[in-house]
């Protein structure tokens, strides 16, 4: 039987829509999965969504939906995006799937039977955003990972004996240097583990959106144990079906688990410890990549600086996004996204590079050889330039393979495109169009050799690039008269396989050039998306506004006596937030820029309260936020929500507040 290859993405949280940060990991995995399939491996590629836990429960509440309705909706958005992008996942796991729920309970029981679970009381701080127990002291103390205020948890919990795995984990990291890649991440993990591991609380009992602990259903299983288990439940762990058990035996351990660098601890410490405790093998390799930055910080919903993949798909197509992300970002490091760079890369490498090479080569074969691959001259009468192209192609095949296998996508593509550049130069130097005007035998033979050489080099780049830009390369392959590229055995790729005399397919351009308006179009599409339903309001100073606002810009329907119905009021989403940072807005006496934690996310709010409050007195204060107000720009800063304050006639604004302590995120109604 063929070698197997099991590859996974993280399963994405459904608290918000997908963006190109999620697409980045998924594209990298899809590229590897496609290459493995072309190399003949029995490949299994898993992705899916992470749907339980307090963060999701609160996000659903904020959206006015039940957690199940909410997660169904967002999970479907992820899936629809991957389908639209042609992501070749073999299974899509949702942690709310019945199969997953049952199998996670089997895992819990398994860990308990093996003596690694005990009951205790947890008192400490918890970061809902990271779904992480953190070692800080004091109510509201900032999370060391993300800086958001933590919440105090005092619960009876089940604990996992993580401390028992310190030595075993260190042995794993030293004995198998490839277990965590790159080395920077491995070193971080090793020093974290060396500093000592404490047992981990693996259940919660103060909310219910999760998988019940077997035999003790008032507890739900800690969302990270639930989520990490997807990698084994999806392929059959814990199932009683013979077929599923067989699949599990075949595919586990995973060959590659790809993640972003912020979830290394969960995957490289907790995950192998859970597996060891269950007596299961650990994955062969966990590879952590860097962050996609936009406007200089990590692209994320909570920062409001996301770019949606759909915008790029609409304007340039999936191949453009795939190529850009893998070519532009040095894998493992952080890299910036910009529409300018995307369009520039698209035009230089795809439209003018590969696209132009394909169309000029194939058009000349059509014109001068009736669309049939020409027979090159015998080797003895070939010129040095012809051989140089063949030699470059041979080196490119080897180097590209080595680089891709080390996940150095950017360098691999650079190498592949060096062949495009070499052939371009070769064509310009040999001027086939001039030879095409001549009918003598020598000119015809020379022309045939040049066009054969160009077409063969084109075939090689096309085969190599297929896993990265599947759509365009499938079309070029068909234009070369070669049929279905997915069936081509990549491991056999070598110079000289182009079939002589074969009839080309219909020649059509694959990458139309993008002009400047493409950048503007994409920017406008994203801008519109950010300002949701309504157009952004004109810039105006934010005076403390009266309590009843019109949500999402729609006028509230008032009764004739000026009163509104309870339904109208219900449209206004008022929530408790906590001020994390506050600062004056330059050049605006009345405005403060605040970052307010709503439990599920941190919002930037610009408020006209600078004359009433010094920024420093606001930090840590709980406030009331109109959470579903359409964003608007004030002095160039986007304000996402409004702080509720009383505004006495001629007096200073007074913030609404509570006498008792209220959890962050609580809705007012
Ligand atoms: O962490 N740059 O889900 P998540 C690069 N549910 N990659 C990014 C990115 C960015 N700006 N933003 C997101 C979770 N990603 C958990 C995982 S797994 C058992 C549970 C990618 O929705 C990257 O792969 O926050 C990152 O690790 C992942 O999305 C986080 O997705």
DSSP string, 615-654: HHHHTT-EEEEETTPPPEEETTEEE-SEE-EE--TTS--E
pLDDT band at 466 (very low <50, low <70, confident <90, very high): very high
pLDDT band at 416 (very low <50, low <70, confident <90, very high): very high
The alpha carbon of 22 and the centre of ligand 1 are apart by a number of angstroms equal to: 6
Do the Cβ atoms of 364 and 532 come closer than 8 Å?
A: no
Instruction: Say if residue 623's pLDDT is above 50.
Output: yes
List, for residues 178-209, the tens digit of each pLDDT value. Answer: 999 999 999 999 999 999 999 999 999 989 99
The alpha carbon of 650 and the centre of ligand 1 are apart by a number of angstroms equal to: 49
Ligand 1 proximity of 227 Cβ (cutoff 6 Å) = yes
The alpha carbon of 361 and the centre of ligand 1 are apart by a number of angstroms equal to: 42
Do the Cβ atoms of 202 and 157 come closer than 8 Å?
A: yes
Ligand 1 proximity of 260 Cβ (cutoff 6 Å) = yes
Residue to mutate, 12, 128, 257, 325, ligand 1, most ligand atoms under 8 Å from C-beta: 12
Residue to mutate, 21, 100, 407, ligand 1, most ligand atoms under 8 Å from C-beta: 21
Do the Cβ atoms of 474 and 502 come closer than 8 Å?
A: no
Separation of CA 209 from chain center: 24
Give the position, in ligand 1's atom list, of the atom nearest the Cα of 263.
Answer: 27
Give the position, in ligand 1's atom list, of the atom nearest the Cα of 49.
Answer: 6
The alpha carbon of 164 and the centre of ligand 1 are apart by a number of angstroms equal to: 29
Indicate the range of 296-305, 464-473, 554-563 predicted with least confidence: 554-563
pLDDT band at 1 (very low <50, low <70, confident <90, very high): low
Q: What is the dihedral of CA 485, 491, 493, 499, to 10 degrees?
A: -60
Give the position, in ligand 1's atom list, of the atom nearest the Cα of 267.
Answer: 19
The pLDDT of residue 54 is 93
Ligand 1 proximity of 329 Cβ (cutoff 6 Å) = no
Give the position, in ligand 1's atom list, of the atom nearest the Cα of 227.
Answer: 19
The alpha carbon of 307 and the centre of ligand 1 are apart by a number of angstroms equal to: 15
pLDDT band at 512 (very low <50, low <70, confident <90, very high): very high
Return the residue matching tokens 């100073």.
541
Lookup: tokens for 187: 């070193």
Ligand 1 proximity of 59 Cβ (cutoff 6 Å) = no
Ligand 1 proximity of 597 Cβ (cutoff 6 Å) = no
The pLDDT of residue 553 is 30
Q: What is the dihedral of CA 295, 297, 298, 302, to 10 degrees?
A: -90
How far are the Cα atoms of 81, 190, 597 from residue 652, in angstroms, in the given order?
49, 54, 24
Instruction: Say if residue 260's pLDDT is above 60.
Output: yes
For ligand 1, atom 10, which residue shows the shortest CA distance? 21
Ligand 1 proximity of 307 Cβ (cutoff 6 Å) = no
Residue to mutate, 16, 22, 47, 268, ligand 1, most ligand atoms under 8 Å from C-beta: 22
Ligand 1 proximity of 168 Cβ (cutoff 6 Å) = no
The pLDDT of residue 543 is 28
For ligand 1, atom 23, which residue shows the shortest CA distance? 260
The alpha carbon of 21 and the centre of ligand 1 are apart by a number of angstroms equal to: 7
Ligand 1 proximity of 267 Cβ (cutoff 6 Å) = no
List, for residues 44-84, the tens digit of each pLDDT value. Answer: 999 999 999 999 999 999 889 999 999 999 999 999 999 99
Instruction: Say if residue 540's pLDDT is above 60.
Output: no
Ligand 1 proximity of 129 Cβ (cutoff 6 Å) = no
pLDDT band at 384 (very low <50, low <70, confident <90, very high): confident
How far are the Cα atoms of 335, 337, 345, 363, 606 from residue 296, in angstroms, in the given order?
9, 9, 20, 43, 21
Q: Cα separation of 535 and 552, whole Å? A: 10
The alpha carbon of 92 and the centre of ligand 1 are apart by a number of angstroms equal to: 16
Give the position, in ligand 1's atom list, of the atom nearest the Cα of 12.
Answer: 22
Q: Give the mean model confidence (pLDDT) for residues 473-482.
A: 97
Q: In this predicted model, which residue has the larger pLDDT, 599 or 37? A: 37
List, for residues 98-121, the tens digit of each pLDDT value. Answer: 999 999 999 999 999 999 999 999
The pLDDT of residue 561 is 60
pTM: 0.81
How far are the Cα atoms of 283, 547, 622 from residue 655, in angstroms, in the given order?
52, 11, 10
Torsion sign (Cα): 324, 328, 334, 336: negative
For ligand 1, atom 7, which residue shows the shortest CA distance? 21
The alpha carbon of 612 and the centre of ligand 1 are apart by a number of angstroms equal to: 40
The pLDDT of residue 185 is 97
Q: Give the mean model confidence (pLDDT) for residues 210-220.
A: 96
HSE, CB side, 13 Å, CA atoms: give it for residue 450.
Answer: 25
Looking at residue 598, the DSSP 8-state letter turns out to be: -
The pLDDT of residue 231 is 98
Ligand 1 proximity of 197 Cβ (cutoff 6 Å) = no
b/e map of 263-298 (b: 16 or more CB within 10 Å)?
bbbbbbbbbbbbbbbbebebbebbbbbbbbbbeeeb
List, for residues 581-590, the tens digit of each pLDDT value. Answer: 999 988 888 8
Q: Give the mean model confidence (pLDDT) for residues 141-145.
A: 88
To the nearest 10 degrees (0 to 180), the angle between helices 470-479 and 356-369 is 10
From the CA atom positions of the chain, what is the Rg in Å?
A: 29
Instruction: Say if residue 536's pLDDT is above 80.
Output: no
Average pLDDT along the chain = 91
Q: Cα separation of 454 and 356, whole Å? A: 12
Ligand 1 proximity of 50 Cβ (cutoff 6 Å) = yes
The pLDDT of residue 562 is 58
The alpha carbon of 658 and the centre of ligand 1 are apart by a number of angstroms equal to: 36
């Amino acid at each position: 039987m063929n070698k197997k290859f099991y590859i996974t993405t993280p399963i994405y949280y459904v608290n918000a829509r997908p963006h190109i940060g999620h697409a980045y990991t998924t594209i990298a995995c899809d590229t590897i999965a496609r290459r493995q399939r072309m190399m003949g491996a029995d490949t299994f590629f898993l992705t899916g969504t992470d749907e339980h836990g307090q963060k999701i429960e609160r996000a659903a509440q904020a959206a006015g939906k039940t957690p199940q309705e909410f997660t169904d909706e967002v999970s479907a958005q992820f899936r629809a995006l991957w389908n639209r992008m042609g992501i070749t996942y073999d299974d899509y796991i949702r942690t709310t799937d019945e199969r997953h729920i049952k199998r996670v309970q089997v895992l819990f029981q398994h860990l308990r039977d093996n003596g690694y679970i005990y009951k205790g009381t947890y008192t400490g701080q918890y970061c809902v955003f990271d779904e992480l127990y953190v070692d800080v002291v004091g109510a509201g103390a900032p999370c060391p990972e993300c800086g958001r205020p933590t919440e105090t948890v005092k619960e009876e919990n089940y604990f996992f004996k993580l401390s028992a795995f310190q030595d075993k984990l260190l042995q794993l990291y030293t004995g198998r240097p490839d277990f965590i890649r790159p080395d920077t991440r491995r070193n971080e993990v090793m020093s974290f583990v060396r500093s000592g591991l404490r047992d981990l609380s693996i259940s919660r009992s103060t909310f219910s959106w999760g998988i019940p602990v077997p035999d003790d259903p008032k507890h739900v299983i800690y969302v990270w144990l639930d989520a990490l288990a997807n990698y084994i439940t999806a392929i059959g762990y814990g199932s009683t079906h013979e077929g599923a058990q067989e699949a599990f035996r075949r595919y586990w351990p995973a060959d590659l688990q790809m993640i972003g660098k912020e979830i290394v601890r969960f995957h490289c410490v907790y995950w192998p410890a859970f597996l060891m405790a269950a007596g299961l093998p650990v994955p062969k390799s966990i590879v952590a990549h860097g962050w996609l930055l936009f406007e200089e910080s990590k692209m994320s919903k909570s920062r409001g600086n996301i770019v949606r993949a759909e915008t790029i798909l609409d304007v340039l197509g999936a191949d453009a996004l795939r190529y850009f992300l893998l070519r532009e970002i040095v894998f493992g490091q952080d890299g910036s996204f910009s529409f300018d760079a995307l369009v520039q890369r698209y035009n230089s490498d795809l439209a003018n590079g590969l696209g132009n090479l394909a169309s000029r080569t194939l058009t000349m074969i059509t014109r001068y050889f009736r669309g049939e691959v020409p027979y090159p001259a015998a080797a003895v009468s070939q010129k040095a330039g012809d051989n140089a192209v063949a030699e470059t192609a041979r080196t490119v095949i080897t180097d590209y393979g080595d680089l891709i296998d080390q996940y150095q996508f950017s360098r691999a593509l650079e190498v592949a495109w060096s062949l495009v550049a070499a052939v371009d130069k070769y064509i310009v130097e040999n001027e086939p169009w001039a030879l095409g005007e001549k009918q003598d035998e020598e000119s015809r033979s020379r022309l045939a050799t040049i066009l054969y050489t160009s077409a063969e080099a084109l075939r090689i780049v096309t085969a190599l690039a297929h896993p990265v830009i599947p759509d365009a390369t499938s079309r070029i392959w068909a234009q070369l008269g070669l049929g279905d590229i997915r069936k081509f055995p990549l491991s056999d790729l070598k110079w000289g396989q182009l079939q002589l005399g074969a009839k080309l397919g219909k020649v059509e351009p694959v990458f139309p050039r993008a002009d400047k308006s493409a950048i503007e179009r994409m920017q406008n599409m994203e801008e519109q998306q950010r300002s949701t339903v309504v157009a952004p309001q004109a810039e105006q100073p934010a005076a403390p506004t009266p309590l009843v606002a019109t949500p999402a810009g729609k006028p509230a329907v008032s009764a004739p006596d000026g009163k509104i119905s309870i339904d109208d009021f219900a449209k206004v989403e008022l929530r408790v937030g906590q001020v994390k940072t506050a600062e004056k807005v330059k050049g605006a006496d009345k405005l403060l820029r605040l970052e307010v934690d709503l439990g599920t996310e941190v919002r930037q709010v610009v408020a006209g309260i600078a004359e009433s409050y010094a920024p420093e007195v606001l930090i840590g204060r709980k406030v009331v936020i109109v959470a579903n107000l359409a964003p608007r720009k004030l002095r160039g800063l986007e304000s996402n929500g409004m702080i509720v304050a009383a505004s006495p006639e001629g007096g200073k604004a007074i913030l609404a507040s509570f006498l008792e302590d209220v959890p962050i995120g609580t809705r007012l109604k």
